[in-house]
Amino acid sequence: MSILRYFILLAILIIIGCSTKTPSDAGSALRLNISGEPPTLDWTLATDGTSFHVITNLMDGLTAFDKDMNPIPAIAKKWDISNSGKRYTFYLRDDVFWTDGAPVTAYDFEYSWKRLLEPSTAAEYAYFLYDINNAQEYNSGKIKDFSLVGIKAMDKHILVVDLKKPTPYFPSITTFMVTFPLRKDVVERHGSRWTEPENIITNGPFILDKWKHEYKIELKPNKRYYANKPLLDKVEMFMIGEISTALTLYETGGLDIVGIPPIAISHYKDSPEYRNMPMLRNNYYGFNVAKPPFNNAKVRRAFSMAIDRSEFPKILKGGEVPATSWIPKGMLAYNPDVGLKYNPDEAKRLLREAGYPDSKNFPKVIVAFNTNPDNQMVAENLQAQWKRNLNISVELDNQEWKVYLKRLKTDAPAIFRLGWGADFPDPDNFMNLFTTESGNNNTKWSNKRYDKLIELAAIEMDAEKRIKLYNEAQRILCEIDAPIMPIFISAQNVLVKPYVKDYKLNPMDILYLKDVRIEK
């Protein structure tokens, strides 16, 4: 008995004795949630948003985005375009230094891009540079001599890039992290551990100070940064997977910025701390046009027209933008007038013309998606709408992500869900998804006119002409042939404490922290 009493006493003392402070909110430290461990901070190998959030604050590249997502000079102070758009000559600043004092040179870029294309690196985003002469050939091992690839550092401050064809969006590509420069000596000396805080060398606004894996990353400002120094003393990026836990932390003073789960949005809508912005991420349901009855465009159009997309923001509550067209809002050539508007009567008429008056004898249809609560909600809503408006009962099916992907490649269901987020803010990145050649086109749809339009738009330098081309292409994609039905554009919803200033959301969901400051 007495032993027990002793331990109870001890436990009580421990509980009383310990401090109950949540993570420090002293000084000018910004605390936010990046939702998970970055799979890697090696920018040649990184492919996901979480890694990107960190890397984008540690490094600068040739170009960067302004607030309207246009590429502007960063480490490259200017560039010349010659050879009818096939040659870019980048002139680098001479006042950019790595955190150990060494200057950033064009050789660092050349080394980084070579590493990206090196077959043994096995970098998933190697295709990002495939516009460059012989890049794809080098990456696939067809040629072994890197000097044949169109990347050449002429001297410390000049980088010349030769492209396969005119590529107007190339300066957008050089904003992307896989094109950031690398220090050959650092990578070779530390091997796969070169990204650990004690080894990593960077050139951007912040330094990687601490990395407690699966838990948090701490950044501090880079005193050698060539542009305006960051105004924060410290950034703590926590990795909290459960979004409602993060919200509770925000409310108890443990975080300064947090994403809001859809279900809580209506509670914060009127709060001054609430911010919303649509993303360059579109969601769609594709049709496998090889599977009847969806080989008939009329049936596809009917299904698309029978859906009232305004229901999605109601149930997802995230400020999602209903979409009938494919290019997302905020991107060049976004056009909300393109696409099939909600019209159940017209939809029924189309079905009748296709041979299914009153949906009689309509075959069984499987609608598939990858397992996820939001996808689930949307799918169940689609199911209810098709039942209500067309009197057709579809069957829902879902699988775990990797299994789902395999299924799409081997035997895509009649109707399947996918999404696409911009790798860089140019419509080509979205539209070339559905060309005949594209490895990401699961619809089995092929349209020569569409392919031609995309090809022309990719090399067209004039913005007005590009918009015209993309309008016609989108009409084919979303109205006439309709191998896909876009449903909604995703949006970001965050809460930001009032003392956090100059924190701006952007449609590519890039986390820019260098201009942020805390004012208590």
Partner 1 sequence: MSKENQKLKFKNQNLRIRPLALLSVIVIALLILSAISAPLIAPFSYDAQDTANILKTPDSTHIMGTDKLGRDIFSRILYGSQISLSVGIIATLVAMIIGVLYGAISGYKGGAIDNYMMRIVDIIYALPDIMVIILITIIIGRGFLGIVLAISIVNWVGIARLMRGEVLKIKEQLFVESAKAVGAGHWRIILRHILPNTLGPLIVTMTFRIPAAILSESTLSFIGLGLAPPFSSWGVLANDGWAALRFYPHLLIFPAIIIFITVLSFNILGDELKEAMDPQLRKGIRIINGA
Partner 2 sequence: MIKYLMKRIAFSIPVLFIIALISFILMYTVPGGPFDKEKKLPPEIKANIEAKYHLDKPIYKQFAIYIYNLVLGDMGPSYKYLGRSVKDILKDTFPVSLQLGLLAFIIPLFIGIPLGIIAAVYRNTFIDKISMFSAVLGITIPHFVLGALLILIFAHSLKIFPPALWEGWSNMILPAITLGIGPTAYIARLTRASILEVLHKDFVKTAFAKGLPYSKIILKHVLKNALTPIISVMGPILAGLVAGSFVVEYIFSIPGMGRYFITAVTDRDYPLIMATTMVYAVLIVIANIVVDVLYKVVDPRVRLE
| Candidate list 27, 39, 355, 357; residue touching partner 2; CB under 8 A | 39
Q: Does 215 bind partner 2 (CB under 8 A)?
A: yes
Per-residue binder mask for partner 2 (CB under 8 A), 163-202, x = binder:
-----------------------------xxxx-------
CB of 76 to partner 1, least distance (A): 45
366 makes contact, choosing from partner 2, partner 1, none, with CB < 5 to 8 Å by partner type, with none
Cβ proximity of 505 and 494 under 8 Å: yes
Residue with tokens 């947090």: 258
| Candidate list 101, 223, 439, 462; residue touching partner 2; CB under 8 A | 439
13 makes contact, choosing from partner 2, partner 1, none, with CB < 5 to 8 Å by partner type, with none
d(CA 198, CA 180): 20
| Candidate list 102, 227, 231, 264; residue touching partner 1; CB under 8 A | 264
Query: Residue 66 or 214: which CB sits closer to partner 2?
Result: 214
377 makes contact, choosing from partner 1, partner 2, none, with CB < 5 to 8 Å by partner type, with partner 1
Q: Which one-letter DSSP state was computed for residue 513?
A: -
d(CA 383, CA 391): 10
- In terms of residues, how long is the chain? 520
* Residue 366 burial class via C-beta count within 10 angstroms: exposed 0-12, middle 13-18, buried 19 and up: middle
16 makes contact, choosing from partner 1, partner 2, none, with CB < 5 to 8 Å by partner type, with none
Q: Does 419 bind partner 2 (CB under 8 A)?
A: yes
239 makes contact, choosing from partner 1, partner 2, none, with CB < 5 to 8 Å by partner type, with partner 2
Could you tell me the two tokens for 308?
A: 């009232």
Query: Residue 280 or 307: which CB sits closer to partner 2?
Result: 280
Q: Does 267 bind partner 1 (CB under 8 A)?
A: yes
Residue 182: what residue type? Answer: L
Q: Which backbone phi and psi does 183 adopt, to 5 degrees?
A: -95, 110
Q: Does 123 bind partner 2 (CB under 8 A)?
A: yes
d(CA 21, CA 120): 48
Q: Does 400 bind partner 1 (CB under 8 A)?
A: yes
Cβ proximity of 509 and 312 under 8 Å: no
d(CA 374, CA 378): 6
Q: Which one-letter DSSP state was computed for residue 103?
A: B
d(CA 90, CA 76): 6
Per-residue binder mask for partner 2 (CB under 8 A), 277-306, x = binder:
------------------------------
The upper half-sphere exposure of residue 422, i.e. CA atoms within 13 Å in the direction of its Cβ, equals 28
Query: Residue 76 or 494: which CB sits closer to partner 1?
Result: 494
Q: Does 139 bind partner 2 (CB under 8 A)?
A: yes
Q: If DSSP codes are grouped into helix, strand and coil, which group holds residue 159?
A: strand
Q: Does 144 bind partner 2 (CB under 8 A)?
A: no
Task: Return the residues of window 42-71 that contact partner 2 according to CB under 8 A.
Answer: 42, 45, 47
Task: Return the residues of window 386-405 that contact partner 2 according to CB under 8 A.
Answer: 400-403, 405
The residues near 348 (Cβ < 8 Å, ≥ 6 apart) are 302, 358, 359, 389, 390
Per-residue binder mask for partner 1 (CB under 8 A), 11-50, x = binder:
----------------------------------------
Residue 160: what residue type? Answer: V
Q: Does 271 bind partner 1 (CB under 8 A)?
A: no
Q: Does 411 bind partner 1 (CB under 8 A)?
A: no
| Candidate list 162, 311, 428, 481; residue touching partner 1; CB under 8 A | 311
Q: Which one-letter DSSP state was computed for residue 508?
A: T
Q: If DSSP codes are grouped into helix, strand and coil, which group holds residue 257?
A: strand
Q: Does 403 bind partner 1 (CB under 8 A)?
A: yes
Cβ proximity of 28 and 518 under 8 Å: yes
| Candidate list 40, 121, 199, 248; residue touching partner 1; CB under 8 A | 248
Q: If DSSP codes are grouped into helix, strand and coil, which group holds residue 469?
A: helix
| Candidate list 67, 101, 120, 373; residue touching partner 2; CB under 8 A | 120
CB of 379 to partner 1, least distance (A): 8
CB of 443 to partner 1, least distance (A): 25
Cβ proximity of 263 and 136 under 8 Å: no
Please provide the DSSP assignment of 2-42 as one string.
Answer: HHHHHHHHHHHHHHHHS----S---SSEEEEE--S--S---
d(CA 58, CA 202): 6
d(CA 152, CA 461): 24
Q: If DSSP codes are grouped into helix, strand and coil, which group holds residue 419?
A: strand
CB of 428 to partner 2, least distance (A): 15
Cβ proximity of 434 and 421 under 8 Å: no
Q: Does 373 bind partner 2 (CB under 8 A)?
A: no
d(CA 21, CA 184): 44
d(CA 246, CA 261): 10
Stretch of residues binding partner 1 (CB under 8 A), selected from 35-43, 196-204, 308-316, 467-475: 308-316
CB of 375 to partner 1, least distance (A): 10
Task: Return the residues of window 232-271 that contact partner 2 according to CB under 8 A.
Answer: 238-242, 245-246, 248-249, 251-252, 254
Residues that bind partner 2 (CB under 8 A): 4, 7-8, 11, 14-15, 17-23, 37, 39-40, 42, 45, 47, 119-124, 126-127, 136, 139-141, 192-195, 212-215, 238-242, 245-246, 248-249, 251-252, 254, 400-403, 405-406, 409, 418-420, 439-440
Residues that bind partner 1 (CB under 8 A): 242-244, 248, 261-264, 267, 311, 314-315, 317, 371, 373, 376-377, 380-381, 383-384, 396, 398-400, 403
